[in-house]
Amino acid sequence: MKKIVVFASGSGSNAENIINYFNDKGNVLVTKVYCNKKGAGIFNRCKRLNKECVLFSKNELFSSDDFINQLKKEADYIVLAGFLLKIPSKLIESFPDKIINIHPALLPKYGGKGMYGMNVHNAVKENKETETGITIHFVNENYDEGAIIFQATTKLEDTDSPEDIAQKIHTLEYEHFPKVIASVIIQ
């Protein structure tokens, strides 16, 4: 059985989708969720889903061999689902090509530090893009520059607001992210 740990920073809708997707799959288990923001919505979602969610600090992520050793016991793969901190090199080295992230744009466009959530959707709108999408990729030492695993697109209308764009992106995320994770993990 392959084990996944999910990292989240926000409301946790993608994390919940991943947990639910793998609940009935006997060959993959989401063992735990980690969150770096006290009071984030993911804690309530995990409580409702009966899934352990652990608060951890930036210091633990960047400075603790104990934290990495704990992750090695709990996970074969780490999935970033709305997780906003840059992953340190030491963790990437411990999980080579086993940390998967989703980005709400078609990389390499609209990637990099500070490009997340509504920042991305606002930039897409401001630049009058006719399409956008999601990129699922492996994590490397640079923001949003890891090897691309999968991309999906959606058409945009001139009348689409950034909120409309966000909704279209969420639809793509919910449809594709768990399936793509499964395709990487179950080979």
Model confidence band, residue 32 (pLDDT cutoffs 50, 70, 90): very high
> What is the CB neighbour count within 10 angstroms for residue 71?
19
**Model confidence over 161-173: pLDDT tens digits?**
999 999 999 999 9
- Structurally, the chain folds into a number of domains equal to 1
> How confident is the model at residue 186, as a pLDDT?
87
Radius of gyration of the chain (CA): 16
Give the structural domain span for 9.
Answer: 2-185
Active site residue 137: no
> How confident is the model at residue 63, as a pLDDT?
87
Is the predicted pLDDT of residue 25 greater than 90, yes or no? no
Is the predicted pLDDT of residue 187 greater than 80, yes or no? no
d(CA 115, CA 130): 19
CATH code of residue 73: 3.40.50.170
Q: What's the whole-number mean pLDDT along residues 68-75? A: 96
Q: Please give the model's pTM, rounded to 2 decimal places.
A: 0.95
Is the predicted pLDDT of residue 14 greater than 80, yes or no? yes
Q: What's the whole-number mean pLDDT along residues 118-136? A: 98
Q: What's the whole-number mean pLDDT along residues 44-65? A: 93
- What are the beta bridge partners of residue 137? 101, 148
> How confident is the model at residue 47, as a pLDDT?
97
